[in-house]
Structure 1
Amino acid sequence: MFRFGAVLAMAVWAALPLRAGPVSDAVQGVISDQISAFLVDDIDRAFSFASPGLRDHFGMAGRFGEMVKNGYPMVWRPGDVRFLQLDGDGKARRQIVEISDRAGRPFRLEYEMIETEEGWRIDAVRFLPVPPPMT
């Protein structure tokens, strides 16, 4: 009887969704806030979520905004956004994000995040292959 109860408890525990931790919440919050800023064309605010290195590279919020608008239109005007796994440790993390454009086409992006004095910031974003749909 004890063994059955222990197995049942483990099965219920395994079925529960993973709880986000403070780092996960902070990282996802920065990405969400940047996307929200793009949605209302607040490029200065969106630029503030970039790492100091990215801000130095682009120099001006307008240049950064044009790069996102032309190179990452699904981030500029997303359809659905879903956070997947978060990897890494210390002051560097990688957040996988599944995002669709307004036409419903799926994309998978890896956000490289670094912890700065200002909090978590986006240091780079790259495209990942989108897995084929389950049949």
Structure 2
Amino acid sequence: MRFFFVLMLMVWGLGLRAEEVPREPGIEAAISDQIAAFRVDDFSTAFMFASPGIQGMFGTPDRFGAMVKNGYPMVWRPGDVRFGRLHDEDGVLWQEVLIQDQQGRRFGLAYRMERVLGEWRIAGVQVIPAPDVGV
């Protein structure tokens, strides 16, 4: 019982740190443009939308593309893409995206966004629980 109470306090505390912010068309455009590049295997263009930290981690567009193709196939070949809420968590902007893959499975993704020289770049992506959406 004590564990459950502590867990609930932690979840409640996490919710307090995340603040929803208004939509940012530049963020949605960066994510959409990167996904469009993945759809046609244009890894060089997709790589341009990654933050300098991500670019440094992978080094080349081809290595970056291989990671996405193998680790995030729903992003590489999505069926449907919808934007959810944008929120600020401790000074970091996270854009939630609901992606349906070619087989109809839904995935929730949170894109960590970073501004680089006035342009939005993707600094990371993590899988999150997809909202329960009626079909």
With the shorter chain as reference, the TM-score category is 0.7 to 0.9
Normalised by the size of structure 2, how large is the TM-score? 0.78
Give the whole-Å Cα distance in 2 for the aligned partners of 1:129 and 1:31: 19
Greater RCO (CA < 8 Å, at least 6 residues apart): 2
1:103 to partner: Cα distance: 0.5
How many residue pairs match? The answer is 115
| 1:24-35 matches, cutoff 5 A | 24-35=24-35
User: In the alignment, which residue of structure 2 is the partner of 1:99?
Assistant: 99
Give the whole-Å Cα distance in 2 for the aligned partners of 1:85 and 1:133: 15
User: In the alignment, which residue of structure 2 is the partner of 1:45?
Assistant: 45
Q: Secondary structure at the match of 1:127?
A: strand
1:131 to partner: Cα distance: 3.3
Give the whole-Å Cα distance in 2 for the aligned partners of 1:118 and 1:49: 13
User: In the alignment, which residue of structure 1 is the partner of 2:6?
Assistant: none
Give the whole-Å Cα distance in 2 for the aligned partners of 1:36 and 1:132: 26
Give the whole-Å Cα distance in 2 for the aligned partners of 1:67 and 1:56: 14
Q: Secondary structure at the match of 2:24?
A: helix
| 1:5-44 matches, cutoff 5 A | 24-44=24-44
Q: Secondary structure at the match of 2:87?
A: strand
Give the whole-Å Cα distance in 1 for the aligned partners of 2:119 and 2:68: 22
| 1:1-135 matches, cutoff 5 A | 24-88=24-88, 92-117=92-117, 119-133=119-133
Which digits, 9 at most, give the CA deviation of each residue in 1:34-78, with x for residues without a partner? Answer: 000011111000000000000000001111000000000010000
Matched letter for residue 24 of structure 1: E
Give the whole-Å Cα distance in 2 for the aligned partners of 1:82 and 1:51: 22
Matched letter for residue 123 of structure 2: D
Which digits, 9 at most, give the CA deviation of each residue in 1:109-135, with x for residues without a partner? Answer: 00000011151000000000123445x
Unaligned runs of 5+ in 1: 1-19
Identity of aligned residues (%): 50
Please tell me whether Structure 1 or Structure 2 has the larger radius of gyration of its CA atoms: 1
Matched letter for residue 40 of structure 2: V
Matched letter for residue 110 of structure 1: A
